[in-house]
């Protein structure tokens, strides 16, 4: 399936928007089965960093390798293929497709890989507690339900790398715990690597290590 070696390797990553520096000196290596939490104050660049890790934004300097492939060495189509096969991204703003039902939103990553697996879609919907609303449209959901659609969609194809931007930010403690366990299961049982942005101590407790993003790079917190 995927090659040996780390899932993600980041070296000397820096990002500026025009004259404004966001971060520099970000180094990180994640083997399979590694779950890290990323803290940092609002505006420090956590979402920007995740976008760079996903090849959705271009870093100003440094290097990102996903499964041994240097993202900068791939064209946009090849980057998109790599993301489709190996990445699950829970966006801070969800990015759920408004005209598709919950089940169809969650099935989309499988569809794009040419896999039709309704049983897997049901399984992951059950994991995040959305079976009862599977046929609804996103506009008929609460914020926390939408967030869980985004999480189910990131998990459904069992990606090697999970990037989750405050995945439990809109959830009550019990529901948060449930989705964090679903993320952690993909790491612990299926060997994914996960970077989770969070402000929640309870969420960070699921991670093996906690880092804080600063303008000068990642600082180890625990």
Ligand X SMILES: Nc1ncnc2c1ncn2[C@@H]1O[C@H](COP(=O)(O)OP(=O)(O)OP(=O)(O)O)[C@@H](O)[C@H]1O
Q: Which residues bind Mg ion (CB under 5 A)?
A: 46-47, 92
Rounded Cα distance, 163 and 74, in Å: 20
Instruction: Please identify, using beta-carbon distances, which residue of 58 and 172 lies nearer to ligand X.
Output: 58
Q: Choose the one of ligand X, Mg ion, none that binds residue 71, judging by a C-beta under 5 to 8 angstroms depending on kind.
A: none
Q: Does 22 bind ligand X (CB under 6 A)?
A: yes
For 67, residues 6+ apart whose C-beta sits below 8 A from its C-beta are 2, 3, 5, 7, 82, 86, 160, 161
Q: Does 45 bind ligand X (CB under 6 A)?
A: yes
Question: Which one of 38, 40, 147, 150 is in contact with ligand X (CB under 6 A)?
Answer: 40
Instruction: Please identify, using beta-carbon distances, which residue of 49 and 124 lies nearer to ligand X.
Output: 49
Strands of the sheet with 8-17, listed across from one edge: 20-30, 8-17, 61-66, 69-70
Query: In terms of Cα–Cα distance, which of 174, 169, 220 is closest to 27?
Result: 220
CB 221 → ligand X: shortest distance, Å?
15
Binding mask 116-135 for ligand X (x = CB under 6 A): --------------------
- Span interacting with ligand X, options 43-51, 62-70, 98-106, 129-137, rule CB under 6 A: 43-51
Q: Does 43 bind ligand X (CB under 6 A)?
A: yes
Tokens at 133, concatenated: 């609303």
Instruction: Please identify, using beta-carbon distances, which residue of 156 and 213 lies nearer to Mg ion.
Output: 213
- Strands 209-214 and 217-220, sheet pairing: antiparallel
- Span interacting with ligand X, options 36-44, 115-123, 124-132, 181-189, rule CB under 6 A: 36-44
Question: Using CB under 6 A, which residues numbered 54 to 113 contact ligand X?
Answer: 92
């Amino acid at each position: 399936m995927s090659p040996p070696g780390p899932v993600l390797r980041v070296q000397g990553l820096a990002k500026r928007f025009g004259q404004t520096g966001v971060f520099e000196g970000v180094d990180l290596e994640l083997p399979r089965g590694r779950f890290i939490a990323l803290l940092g104050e609002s505006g420090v660049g956590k979402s920007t960093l995740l976008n760079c890790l996903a090849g959705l934004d271009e870093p100003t300097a440094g290097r990102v390798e996903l499964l041994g492939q240097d993202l900068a060495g791939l064209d946009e189509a090849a980057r998109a293929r790599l993301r489709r096969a190996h990445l699950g991204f829970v966006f801070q703003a969800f990015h759920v497709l408004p005209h598709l039902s919950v089940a169809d939103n969650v099935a989309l990553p499988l569809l794009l890989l040419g896999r039709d697996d309704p049983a897997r879609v049901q399984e992951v919907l059950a994991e995040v507690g959305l079976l009862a609303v599977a046929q609804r449209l996103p506009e008929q959901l609460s914020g926390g339900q939408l967030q869980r659609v985004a999480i189910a969609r990131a998990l459904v194809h069992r990606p090697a790398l999970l990037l989750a931007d405050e995945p439990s930010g809109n959830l009550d403690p019990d529901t948060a715990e449930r989705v964090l366990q679903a993320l952690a299961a993909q790491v612990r049982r299926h060997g994914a690597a996960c970077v989770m942005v969070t402000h929640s101590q309870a969420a960070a407790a699921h991670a093996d290590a906690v880092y804080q993003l600063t303008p000068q790079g990642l600082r180890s917190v625990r």
